[in-house]
Amino acid sequence: MAKGVLVDIPKCIGCEGCSVACKLWNELEWDQQEKNKTASDRAAEPNNGLWPEEWTSINRYDLQKNSSSVRRYVKTQCFHCEEPACVSACFSKAIQKLPEGPVIYDQKLCVGCRYCMMACPFDMLRYEWKKAVPGIRKCQMCPTRVANNMEPACSSVCPTGALTFGDRDELLAEAKKRIKEKGYIDRVFGENEAGGTSWLYISDTPLEEMRFRTDVTTNPLPSYTEGYMKATPMIGVSWAAILAGLFVINNKNKDPLD
């Protein structure tokens, strides 16, 4: 059964233990400039605090609730769509969706076209612009751990229960139970967005005030693009053949001494 993670936003205290666990497990580099940024700094960035070496980010939002000031922290990373647009867009098969839930990336198969970045409705993929041999970087949802029925590194260290790992169907039921019991906003983000995601969010404050894309279609995005993307490799091969033919024709009757 597909796994997922339920994020209970009001329970997050912004300790950033999940971010540290992510870096340690995935052996990501520590960037001093990024390390010095606060959660509110990252919330204000266009990229939500995600960088090639920052696969998860804790962002702080100061909001109003019932005429009172409240502070909310939001864990941001790839949502691992049920039917990912990035997988559909990747004609080299570098990105794949595993049956257990994670959407994974294999740099050895990547051709660097960045179609996956353009396809993602949540803008969660990052490109290694500064590297000689760049690739895509994103949360992989700890696939080896999940395959062995272990929690992702991030949720395994959460001290408050803000992150709950389990079967996606059971997490959906738990999310709706908490919404009813705690008076949260009646919406599970990720239940239907873009056809559904493995990461689910519940909140007591409006999601759009915390930069969630609440306008995303509920239809799986590959249904819009798959037919076109499947033709991409053939188009590339066809153009290569046409250009090679033109080169041969153009040089066929030339004098070798010209």
Binding site as annotated, residues for [4Fe-4S] cluster = 12, 15, 18, 22, 78, 81, 86, 90, 110, 113, 116, 120, 139, 142, 154, 158
Q: What angle do CA 50, 52, 55 make, to 5 degrees?
A: 50
Exposure on the CB side of residue 255, measured as CA atoms within 13 A: 2
Task: Summarize the annotated binding site as residue ranges.
Answer: 12, 15, 18, 22, 78, 81, 86, 90, 110, 113, 116, 120, 139, 142, 154, 158
- Distance, in Å, from the CA atom of 43 to the CA atom of 137, rounded to the nearest integer, reads 20
Q: What angle do CA 69, 179, 77 make, to 5 degrees?
A: 75
- Please give, one letter per residue, the 3-state secondary structure of the chain: CCEEEEEEHHHCCCCCHHHHHHHHHHCCCCCHHHHCCCHHHHHHCCCCCCECCECCEEEEEEEEECCEEEEEEEEECCCCECCCHHHHHCCCCCEEECCCCCEEECHHHCCCCCHHHHHCCCCCCEECCCCCCCCEECCCCCHHHHHCCCCCHHHHCCCCCCEEEEEHHHHHHHHHHHHHHHCCCCCCECCCHHHCECEEEECCCCHHHHCCCCCCCCCCCHHHHHHHHHHHHHHHHHHHHHHHHHHHHHHHCCCCCC
